[in-house]
Every structure is written in structure tokens, then in C-alpha cells.
Amino acid sequence: MQAKAYLPIRGSQIYYQTSGDGEPLVLLHGGFGTVEDFASQTPELAKHFRVVAFERPGHGRTADNGEPFSFTTMSEYTVDFMESLGLKAANLVGWSDGAAVALLVAIARPDLVKRIVSVGGFFNTSNMSAGDKDWFKSATPESFRKAAPEVAKHYDEVSPDGPAHFPIVFEKMVRMWLNEPDIQKEELAKIAAPTLVMAGDREAIPLEHTLELFRSIKDSQLCIVPGSTHFLLAEKPVAANRAILEFLLTEEKPK
């Protein structure tokens, strides 16, 4: 059974959902994302874990605030959220922006993290091609709406700020993406939590970047899902869920 609620964090009312029982597992959505980013994963994961999914300020059902978007701030909200709910030694499953947030939480607060699953993750701006950077530099809220109509439509439907606020969130998001994250390899090397680096074989993020992330985290595991893009969680849910659960439910590290 799924429970829905709001939690006051730093003056924001953070929307979250919980389902299942057992060891805590926190889902971290992507940019412009919501808890629905994991619609194909939550029911399966909830058979084994207490799944907690929340929406960061300016995303989904959590209202925007006056702060600029930054990966550091998003990781701080995540830490505050986890501490408020008493989620210690939790598993973190992050997609896209959420994967970068998971890495930052593991670096800053290793005591809160048991395992990490990074799906379509990245650690610095080299994840974005020159063409993508040029597109975002010239993009407008209107052109983004045309390029990603489902994302914009979902924002309009669930955001408490309403469709008129979308340009402000868009501006904050693009500014962040063009400049962040900037996680050093030396910081990635400090991550002690067992980590699964997962990506599609047709990722927009260069495979070299994914391999660099994998090689920078000691004893991490790599999973490339065939026939999938950055949206592999929705495109190949059976394969993705099987790999995630096998990783999370196996106690021993690979030799």
C-alpha cells in the first residue's frame, strides 16, 4: 500500500511517497522529474524494500522556492529529508540528475548510504556533448516544450506553481546543467558504498563518461542495458529491475 505525505524541509513542503517494508530504499528522480520516473520500478522494489520517493523543490508536487538549482543544494535537501525520516544506511537509486545527487550524498554523508544504483548518471559537465550544450544555450521554454511535450505536460498537471512558472524552473535547470555537477575523481574514489553504474547502450551520455564513472568508484559494478537510451527504466523495465534487484539483494562483493 502506498502512502503519500508532505514533510517540511528548509521552509519547503516536500512531497513524498512510501511503499513496502524492510530496509530503506530512496528513489532520486531526474531533472524536471517526479516520483513517476520510477513508475516501472517502485512496485517491484517495494516487494523487498521500504521504498521512499520524494520530489525536490521545483519538481513535481513540491513548490519551487527562491533558491537557484544546484546539485549540492539538491544533495543537502536529500540528506535533510533522510534524517527527518530517520533513514539510516539506506539504499539510493538515482536516475540522471538523481544519480549525481546520490553520488554527492555518498561523498558527504557515507553513514547514510548502504548501496548506490546510478542509472544514466554523470559526475561532471563532460557528460553533455558540444551539440547538446549549444542546444541548451539557445533553447527557450517554448522550444523545450516542443522538444519534450510529455515532460512539460506533466509539469503543468502536477506542479503547485502552475504552468506560468515553468519558464522560471526551465531557466534554473538549464543554468545548472551547463555548469554542474563538478565532482572530482578523487571524491568518487572516496565512495565506499557498493555501487552499480547502469546505462543504456544508446545513452545520450557518452559511454566513455559512464566508463570513467565506473572506473573511478572502487569495486563498482557496470551494467549496460542493450537496446535502450537514457530512458532505459521505462524502455527496458524487466531487464533494469532484474539487474537492480540482483545487485541490491546480493550481499557479497564480486571478486
254 pLDDT band, cuts 50/70/90, is: low
For the chain, give the mean pLDDT: 96
At 35 the pLDDT is: 98
Residue 129: per-residue pLDDT: 86
In a domain? residue 174: no
pLDDT at position 252 is 60
Domain residues for the domain of 207 are 3-128+181-249
pLDDT at 253: 56
Is residue 77, in this structure, part of any structural domain at all?
Answer: yes
- Element spanning 198, H or E: strand 195-200
Q: What is the pLDDT of residue 147?
A: 94
Please report, rounded to a whole number, the percentage of residues in the chain having pLDDT higher than 90: 95
Residue 35, helix vs strand vs coil: helix
Q: What digits encode the pLDDT tens for the residues 185-235?
A: 999 999 999 999 999 999 999 999 999 999 999 999 999 999 999 999 999
Alpha carbons 1 and 20: distance in angstroms, whole number: 7
Confidence of residue 174 (pLDDT cuts 50, 70, 90): very high
Q: At what angle do helices 166-179 and 130-138 cross, to 10 degrees?
A: 150
Q: What is the mean pLDDT of residues 52-75?
A: 97
Tally the domains of the chain.
1
Residue at 153 is within a domain: no
Residues 97-114 have a mean pLDDT of 98
> CATH no. for residue 210?
3.40.50.1820
> What's this model's pTM, rounded to 2 decimal places?
0.96
Query: What CA–CA distance (Å, rounded) separates 106 from 124?
Result: 16
Measured between alpha carbons, how far is residue 67 from residues 10, 34, 41, 63, 181 in Å?
11, 19, 31, 12, 17
13 lies in some domain: yes
pLDDT at 91 over 70: yes
User: pLDDT value at position 247?
Assistant: 98
- Taking only the tens place, the pLDDT of each residue in 183-198 is 999 999 999 999 999 9
